[in-house]
Structure 1
Amino acid sequence: MNLEEPVRKAILAELERQAASGRLTLDKSGSGPIRLDGRIDVDELVMAVLGALAGGP
Structure 2
Amino acid sequence: MNIENQVREAIIAELKRQSEAGQQGLRVRTGEAETITIEGQVNLDELTMAVVGSLAGGP
Structure 2 length as normaliser, TM-score? 0.83
RMSD of aligned alpha carbons: 1.5
Q: Which residue of the partner structure matches residue 38 of structure 2?
A: 36
C-alpha displacement at 1:2, in angstroms?
2.3
Q: Which runs of 5+ in 2 are unaligned?
A: none
Q: Which runs of 5+ in 1 are unaligned?
A: none
Aligned pair count? Answer: 56
Q: Which residue of the partner structure matches residue 54 of structure 2?
A: 52
Structure 1 length as normaliser, TM-score? 0.86
Spell out structure 1 runs of 4+ moving beyond 4 A: none
